[in-house]
A and B are shown apart, each in its own frame.
Chain A
Amino acid sequence: MNNRYVLSDLVDALVKAGHKRRDAEEFARVFFAQIEEQVFRGDTVKVKGLGLFRLILSGARESVNVNTGERIKIDEHYKLQFLPEAGLKELVNGPYAHLDPIPLDDETAAALAAKTDTVADEPVDDAQPEASSAAAAKPAKAVAAEKKEPVFEVEESQPQDNKKSDKKGTTIAWIIFVLLALALIVYALCSTVFNGDNQGARRARPVVRNEVVTEVPAATTVEQTEAAQPAEQTPAATAAKPAEKAAAAQTAEKTPAAKTAEKAPAAKSAEKAAAAQPAQKEAEKTVASAVDASSWEVQQEITLGQNERLTLVAQKYYGDKVYWVYLYQANRDRIPNPNKIKAGTKIRIPKAPASVVNPKDPASLQKAAALEEAYIKQFASKK
């Protein structure tokens, strides 16, 4: 953190990667010199993975001398513009990647605009004083943990749930936490393909994450139970968000059952968890009734890297991204939530019968699209 590297460090790294020192030196020197050369020739230089460099003309404008208050004219001049690529931006923004814009109501917005100096992180929720300080303290401790945060998701079904949070006292939070643990045990017992814990888990999730950091033994059990799912990697900082929001960001646990159970108060979650499980299974059955890719013969296995998505894999192997649903079906045991898949997850690519997967056949596309919709509903938060 905050190391200042120079060219020779870069060269060292290239040498480490297996190049001759002389080559590495020459290359690094020429690389940057050429960016400069090309830019001054009036070209835009694009480097994959990095971004683009170009000179842009900045028009003449008036300004004031800050010391004398005198008006001065700034002539038009060129500026070197560096536009980082989206991938690099995403990579670099790791510690903050879990944050989403928060819609504000008019009052809070006005209040915030009024006090310009200290802007609370979470104005929407009043149960937040320590939470926002946690958020402020986040970058440092979040960096390490956040690196593991799953990076790719199915773009069609990015959940957004920005309902106002109902605040719970710490006591209730604890109860929820305990109940959640129960729910998880139930889940482990049933070991359904889908995560069975639902509404309770959903509500209590931020709380759990809080514990993950502060209280080791309990957190460990939780983590183990949830080994397959990425949610636990979000650091305590996430708990700083309004409860719903955090939960929405981590819909790993969301099931159709969660929808039905959702309106019930959170504290009752354990019974609900148990009760809701069959319902959820049923719902899943209807979803999967048409086709079930999990029974298809496995053609090959691939490991998902960063920035990969099921849709992209589907596009590559099946010819249309909508067929990601079958990939998901075939890998339900490894993918608790198609919106949040861990980098490094191995997935099976089943051999798809032409009758089901055929990008030229509108009926097959439609079928997949229907499935997709069902899954999106299943995993999306309700608005």
Chain B
Amino acid sequence: MKENDFLSAVRKETGFSAKLTEQMTRQLVEILSGMLAAGDSLTIHGFGTFELKKKEERLSVNPVSGKRFMIPPKQVPAFRPGATLKERIKNYKGNE
């Protein structure tokens, strides 16, 4: 599913114009990424939490050369489903 399909679904629900939907989506994404970049988390009740996860440094081996590498620590954005969503996922038996 392309972003356009998703946006048109949002449009259908809200009744907003395409321009407004697009603009708001961009702004929302920007706000959210700003929060994440600042190390903050955003919890949407009933949906889940967007947060930062810290990955520790680790040793890794290049399978081709067999050379060992120290992979530096990093931060990655993550999403954790909330309780309601988790419950729904648990009961989800596939689309077909």
A134 within 8 Å of B by Cβ?
Answer: no
State whether B6 touches A10 (Cβ < 8 A). Answer: no
Q: Identify which of B1, B42, B70, B74 contacts A102 (C-beta below 8 A).
A: B70
**A: contact size bracket:** 35 or more
Chain A: interface secondary structure? mixed
Q: Identify which of A84, A100, A101 contacts B60 (C-beta below 8 A).
A: A101
User: What per-residue 1/0 map shows which CB atoms of B27-48 lie under 8 Å from chain A?
Assistant: 1111111011111111111111
Chain B: interface secondary structure? mixed
Residues of B near A19 (CB, < 8 A) are: 24, 27
State whether A78 touches B92 (Cβ < 8 A). Answer: yes
User: What per-residue 1/0 map shows which CB atoms of A270-282 lie under 8 Å from chain B?
Assistant: 0000000000000
Residues of B near A5 (CB, < 8 A) are: 35, 40-43
- In the complex where A38-B6, A48-B29, A96-B75 touch, is A32 in contact with B43 (Cβ < 8 A)? no
State whether A24 touches B24 (Cβ < 8 A). Answer: yes
- Nearest B residue to A46, CB-CB: B3
Q: Identify which of A13, A24, A121 contacts B57 (C-beta below 8 A).
A: A121
State whether B13 touches A33 (Cβ < 8 A). Answer: yes
Bound-state Cα–Cα, A203 to B95, Å:
60
State whether A55 touches B41 (Cβ < 8 A). Answer: no
Closest Cβ of chain A to B62, distance in Å, is 9
Bound-state Cα–Cα, A158 to B85, Å:
43
Residues of A near B71 (CB, < 8 A) are: 101
Extra contacts, 9 of them, besides A23-B14, A92-B76 (Cβ < 8 A), are A6-B44, A34-B9, A34-B10, A37-B9, A80-B85, A84-B76, A92-B36, A100-B72, A101-B71
Q: A residues near B, CB below 8 A?
A: 1-7, 9-10, 13-14, 17, 19, 23-24, 26-28, 30-38, 40-51, 53, 55, 57, 77-80, 82, 84, 88-89, 91-96, 99-104, 106, 109, 112-113, 119, 121, 123, 143
